[in-house]
Amino acid sequence: MSDSETVLLVGGGGREHAIARALTDDPACDLYACASNRNPGITALAEGFETIAETAAEEIVAYATDVGADLAIIGPESALEAGVADALDEAGVYTFGPDADAARIETDKAFQREFMQSESIPGCPDFAVFDDMDAACDYIDDYDGDLAVKPAGLTGGKGVKVIGDQVTAEEAKTYLRENDYEQVVLEERLVGEEFTVQAFVANGDVRPTPAVQDHKRAYEGDEGPNTGGMGSYSDAGPELPFMTTADYADAVEILEATVDALPDYKGVLYGQFMLGADGPKVVEFNARFGDPEATNTLPVLDTSFLDVLTAARDGEPLPQLEFAGKATVCKYAVPEGYPTDPKSGAKITVDEDSVGDALLFYASVDEREDGLYTTTSRSFAVVGVADSIEEAEKQAEDALAAAGDGLRVRHDVGKPDLVQRRIDHMAELRGE
| Digit-coded pLDDT (tens) for 59-83 | 999 999 999 999 999 999 999 999 9
- Phi, psi for 26 (deg, rounded to 5): -95, 120
- Residue 260's CB: how many other CB atoms inside 10 A? 13
Distance CA 280, CA 242 (A): 12
- What mean pLDDT, rounded, does the chain reach? 94
Predicted confidence at residue 129, as pLDDT, reads 95
pLDDT at 407: 87
Please indicate whether residue 67 or residue 152 has the higher confidence score (pLDDT).
67
Question: Which pLDDT value is given to residue 1?
Answer: 45
Q: Is the separation of the CB atoms in 214 and 418 below 8 Å?
A: no
Residue range 358-390, pLDDT digits in tens:
999 999 999 999 999 988 889 999 999 999 999
Residue 190, SS3 per DSSP: coil
Q: What is the largest CA-CA distance in the chain?
A: 63
CA dihedral of 48, 53, 58, 60, whole degrees rounded to 10: 20
Rounded to an integer, what distance in angstroms lies between the CA atom of residue 415 and that of residue 398? 13
Is a pLDDT exceeding 60 seen at residue 160? yes
pTM of the predicted protein model: 0.94
What residues contact 151, with CB distance under 8 A and at least 6 apart? 109, 159, 160, 179, 181, 183, 184
Asked if pLDDT for residue 29 goes beyond 50, the answer is yes
pLDDT for position 25: 97
Q: How far is CA 147 from CA 139, 271, 285, in A?
A: 10, 20, 18
Q: What is the mean pLDDT of residues 165-185?
A: 91
Tell me the per-residue pLDDT of 302-342, one tens digit each, with 9 for 90 and over. Answer: 999 999 999 999 999 999 999 999 999 999 999 888 998 88
* Percent of the chain topping pLDDT 70: 98
